[in-house]
Chain A
Amino acid sequence: MTTADLLLVALGAVAVGAGVLVVSTRHIVRAGLWLVVNLLAVAGCYLVLAAELVAWVQVLLYVGAVVVLLLFAVMLTRAPIGASDDLDRPRWPGALIGGGAGLGLAALFVSGYRWSRVDLPSPGTATALGEQIFTAWVLPFEVVGVLLLAALIGAIVVSRPDIGSR
């Protein structure tokens, strides 16, 4: 085992542990904070796998913005915030679907690669990713722009029906 393997296993364990805490805590705000730990551990995995830009995008966007939005959504809808008993849903269907999908994917990877060694691709630096996005992936990139447009319009339509066009 190399250092990278050890780091990957350790970060994966942190991610899984934090993920379990996200769904098992009784405080919904704490679930959001555990999600930060989970997403940071996944960012660490990306970093070990040489996907530098993706790792920092994970930190900036998911840890920095998406979790803040989630916490805002909690503060908008729940008050006062404390331990609550109504967070639980029937667990077995979700556990079966989630666990089945995870195990299925793991089995797929193991059967696909066996124990062959795969070299890491060249580092996912900003330059390398920029050239990829803006040459090979132009259309998805522009579609992302439209998606952002739709997200913002959706947000204003859903959240502020009281304001109209002037």
Chain B
Amino acid sequence: MSLSPYIPIVGLFALGAGFALFSVAIAPFVGPRRYNRAKLDAYECGIEPTPQPIGGGRFPVKFYLTAMLFIVFDIEIIFLYPWAVSFEALGVFGFVEMVLFIITVFVAYAYVWRRGGLDWD
């Protein structure tokens, strides 16, 4: 395989990295320096920074389950992609395979749902 289709992507990466490096390198020389308290605060998506949560900064275990759900369905979607592009060649057999696979994963989803894993509180 020739890698030539990726040359524009590499170019884009180089441009992006160049812009980032240029911005960081040039900022100390041309930027005004007016410090205030807000600028030294931690950045939390524009909202007021909150103190460390209860438990000293540990995350609730609910996030772990969310991440696992994400990974499982991420993998399922990854498999859908090669299936979709070769769907014509695979015919009914491929369709049945994918339906079986989706049912299997959906059983896991139904189990999490029934156990209350999707409730946040």
Does chain B have a CB within 8 A of A142?
yes
B28 within 8 A of A: no
Task: Give the dominant DSSP class at A's interface.
Answer: helix
Q: How far is the CB of B115 from chain A (nearest CB, A)?
A: 6
Segment 30-87 of A: residues with Cβ below 8 Å from B: 47-48, 50, 52-53, 57, 60-61, 64-66, 68-69, 72-73, 75-81
Q: Does any Cβ of A come within 8 Å of B65's Cβ?
A: yes
B58-75, CB under 8 A of A: which get 1 and which 0? 111111110111111011
- Max chain B C-beta neighbours (<10 A), residue from A47, A52, A141, A156: A156
Query: Could you tell me if A149 and B108 are in contact, using CB atoms closer than 8 angstroms?
Result: yes
Q: Select one of B59, B97, B107, B109 contacting A134, CB under 8 A.
A: B97
B56 CB–A CB distance under 8 Å: yes
Interface size class of A (residues with CB under 8 A): 35 or more
Interface residues on B, range: 35 or more
Q: Closest B-chain residue to A163, C-beta based? A: B116
Asked whether any CB of chain A lies closer than 8 Å to the CB of B57, the reply is yes
Given contacts A72-B59, A142-B100, is CB(A148)–CB(B108) below 8 Å?
yes
Bitwise, A110-121 to B at CB < 8 A (1) or not (0) is: 000000000010
Main secondary structure on B side of the interface with A: helix
Contact stretch, chosen from B14-22, B29-37, B42-50, B78-86: B78-86
Asked whether any CB of chain A lies closer than 8 Å to the CB of B12, the reply is no
Q: Are B82 and A53 in contact (CB under 8 A)?
A: yes
Shortest Cβ distance from residue A3 to the other chain B in the assembled complex, whole angstroms: 8
A76-B64 CB under 8 A given contacts A65-B71, A142-B101, A153-B108 = yes
Binary contact track A71-108/B, C-beta < 8 Å → 1, others 0: 01101111111000000000000000000000000000
Partner of A76, one of B63, B72, B76, B116: B63
Contact B101 A79 (CB under 8 A): no
Q: Report Cα–Cα, A159/B114, bound state, in Å.
A: 16
- Whether B58 lies near A156 (C-beta < 8 A) is no
Q: Which chain A positions have C-beta within 8 A of B6? A: 47
Query: Is the beta-carbon distance between B104 and A57 smaller than 8 angstroms?
Result: no
Interchain CB contact (< 8 A) of A130 among B70, B76, B83:
B83
- CB within 8 Å of B: which residues of A? 3-4, 7, 47-48, 50, 52-53, 57, 60-61, 64-66, 68-69, 72-73, 75-81, 120, 122-123, 126-127, 129-131, 133-135, 138, 141-142, 144-146, 148-149, 151-153, 155-156, 159-160, 163-166
Closest 10 A/B residue pairs (Cβ): A130-B82, A130-B86, A145-B104, A79-B57, A50-B1, A152-B108, A155-B68, A123-B1, A79-B58, A149-B108
